[in-house]
């Protein structure tokens, strides 16, 4: 057996990173802190030293700004929206009652005296009157009279404002539910990416799958390779290059009824492309876009891969649906083994001379 054949057989047994004499662990520790996109798809970019004039732009679209707040702040805003309006109008009703003399206990026994609001004789009762007015839950013993036109006018104003507050706060909660973390987890990404052979070309492969009952329709995917380059001045410059991922049959429309491997074929400059991916200063961001079937909402899901998370000369294990009997034994169903979702195997067609790139 010649040396070239023997070397190829040895490299098939030894992992590419060991054959190249490099340690993955060291690279992992260095690069985990340098992600631009986190593993769960969040953008790790902080906006520093922005003037107040530029920050005011966030207030021009307050709904979008509020949606980025955490859930605890959303619930605080939801509660404060009601409590503040109750208190403000309770103060107004209390002032009207005080000016009219409704709080004077000597006038309560006067049969000729008509109060602005019946049974409003303290701030607590004024607060209860405000709450009952805003939510139209029925006045009971407390109700407005025709004695004070200003009190009737305030009741009209509070009713309109109360409906607006209820609509805005409820809409904010519903919008937050639709765009929360559950949406960002609608698609599963494999823990690692692979570089192997498909259709006699070098292919960059990632496995994706549907994570729940909600289907992602009209889905398509692309990737962004972000390279950090040092300038002579000592600053860093980020270069971006884009790649398009397609399904196993070459279609840009992705069918996520079961897990699938999306790939990008590299037909030109294969060695240069692999060097770019294996550079410790590079980051691969895989993006999947589509429409959530349940809500009709557009969704973009991201996953970041660093150089030590890209395996050379490997491919994903096939986990296509298998037909089997269900537990009751009275029918059949297709089963997908998600335990093998991240499992890879050696690509027998791979040219192991590329291992020196790692």
In a domain, 52, yes or no: no
Instruction: Please give the share of the chain, as a percent, with pLDDT higher than 90.
Output: 11
In a domain, 46, yes or no: no
In a domain, 56, yes or no: no
Q: Are residues 165 and 217 in the same domain?
A: no
Q: Are residues 101 and 225 in the same domain?
A: no
Q: Are 205 and 196 in contact (CB under 8 A)?
A: yes
Q: Are residues 222 and 321 in the same domain?
A: yes
Determine the Cα–Cα distance for residues 88 and 266; give it in Å rounded to an integer.
66
Q: Are residues 134 and 262 in the same domain?
A: no
Residues with Cβ within 8 Å of 20's Cβ and at least 6 positions away in sequence, in order, are: 355, 356, 357, 358
Q: Are residues 263 and 306 in the same domain?
A: yes
In a domain, 315, yes or no: yes
**CA 47 and chain centroid, separation:** 19
Q: Are residues 240 and 217 in the same domain?
A: yes
Q: What is the pLDDT of residue 205?
A: 92
Q: What is the pLDDT of residue 206?
A: 92
Determine the Cα–Cα distance for residues 189 and 216; give it in Å rounded to an integer.
14
Burial class (CB in 10 A: 0-12, 13-18, 19+), 239: exposed
Please tell me the least confidently modeled range out of 1-15, 96-110, 296-310: 1-15
pLDDT class of 84 with cuts at 50, 70, 90: very high
In a domain, 59, yes or no: no
Token couple for 288 = 């999947």
- Bridge partners (DSSP) listed for residue 112: none
Q: What is the pLDDT of residue 89?
A: 93
What residue numbers bound the domain in which 336 lies? Answer: 3-40+185-357
DSSP state of 318: P
Residue located via tokens 């398009």: 244
pLDDT class of 19 with cuts at 50, 70, 90: very low
Q: Are residues 301 and 214 in the same domain?
A: yes
Instruction: Please give the share of the chain, as a percent, with pLDDT higher than 70.
Output: 78
Residue located via tokens 């069918």: 255
pLDDT in tens, 254-313: 888 888 899 998 877 878 888 888 888 888 999 998 887 777 778 888 888 998 899 888
Determine the Cα–Cα distance for residues 92 and 130; give it in Å rounded to an integer.
9
The CATH number of whichever domain residue 136 belongs to comes to: 1.10.287.70
Q: Are residues 73 and 122 in the same domain?
A: yes
Q: Are residues 190 and 327 in the same domain?
A: yes
The CATH number of whichever domain residue 225 belongs to comes to: 2.60.40.1400
In a domain, 54, yes or no: no
Token couple for 132 = 């009952």
Of 159, 178, 197, the last residue of a domain is 178
261 closest CA partner among 301, 316, 221, 308: 316
Q: What is the pLDDT of residue 88?
A: 93
Q: Are 285 and 224 in contact (CB under 8 A)?
A: yes
Of 126, 151, 178, the last residue of a domain is 178
In a domain, 45, yes or no: no
Q: What is the pLDDT of residue 16?
A: 54
* 115 against 287, higher pLDDT: 287
Q: Are residues 26 and 117 in the same domain?
A: no
Q: What is the pLDDT of residue 293?
A: 78
* 236 against 239, higher pLDDT: 239
Q: In total, how many domains does the chain have? A: 2
Token couple for 124 = 């607590």
Q: Are residues 72 and 99 in the same domain?
A: yes
- What predicted TM-score, i.e. pTM, was given to this entire model? 0.67
Q: Are residues 241 and 307 in the same domain?
A: yes
Dihedral angle, C-alpha 176, 178, 182, 184, nearest 10 °: -90
In a domain, 226, yes or no: yes
Of 158, 178, 198, the last residue of a domain is 178
* 40: pLDDT strictly greater than 90: no
């Amino acid at each position: 057996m010649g040396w070239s054949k023997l070397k190829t057989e040895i490299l098939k047994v030894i992992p590419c990173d060991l054959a190249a004499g490099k340690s993955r662990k060291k690279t992992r520790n260095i690069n985990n802190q340098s992600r631009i996109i986190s593993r769960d798809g969040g953008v790790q970019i902080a906006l520093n030293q922005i003037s107040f004039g530029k920050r005011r732009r966030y207030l021009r679209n307050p709904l979008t700004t509020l949606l980025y707040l955490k859930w605890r702040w959303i619930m605080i805003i939801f509660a404060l929206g009601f409590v503040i309006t109750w208190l403000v109008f309770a103060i107004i009703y209390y002032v009207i009652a005080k000016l009219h003399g409704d709080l004077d206990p000597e006038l309560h026994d006067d049969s000729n005296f008509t109060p602005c609001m019946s049974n409003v004789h303290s701030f607590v009762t004024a607060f209860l009157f405000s709450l009952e007015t805003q939510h139209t839950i029925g006045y009971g013993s407390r109700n407005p009279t025709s004695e004070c036109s200003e009190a009737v006018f305030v009741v009209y104003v509070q009713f309109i404002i109360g409906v607006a507050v209820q609509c805005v706060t409820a809409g904010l909660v519903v919008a937050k539910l639709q765009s929360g973390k559950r949406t960002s987890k609608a698609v599963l990404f494999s823990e690692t990416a692979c570089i192997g052979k498909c259709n006699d070309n070098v292919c960059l492969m990632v496995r994706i799958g549907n994570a729940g009952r909600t289907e992602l329709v009209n889905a398509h995917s692309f990737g962004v390779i972000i390279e950090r380059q040092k300038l002579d001045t000592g600053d860093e410059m980020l270069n971006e290059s884009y790649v398009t991922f397609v399904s196993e049959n070459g279609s840009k429309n992705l069918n996520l009824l079961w897990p699938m491997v999306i790939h990008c074929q590299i037909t030109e400059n294969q060695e240069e492309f692999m060097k770019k991916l294996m550079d410790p200063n590079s980051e691969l961001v895989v993006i999947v876009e589509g429409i959530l079937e349940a809500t009709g909402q557009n969704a973009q899901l991201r996953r970041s891969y660093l150089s030590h998370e890209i395996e050379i000369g490997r491919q994903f294990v096939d986990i296509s649906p298998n037909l089997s009997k269900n537990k009751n034994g009275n029918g059949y169903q297709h089963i997908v083994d998600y335990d093998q979702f991240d499992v890879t195997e050696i690509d027998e067609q791979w040219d192991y001379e590329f291992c020196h790139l790692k």
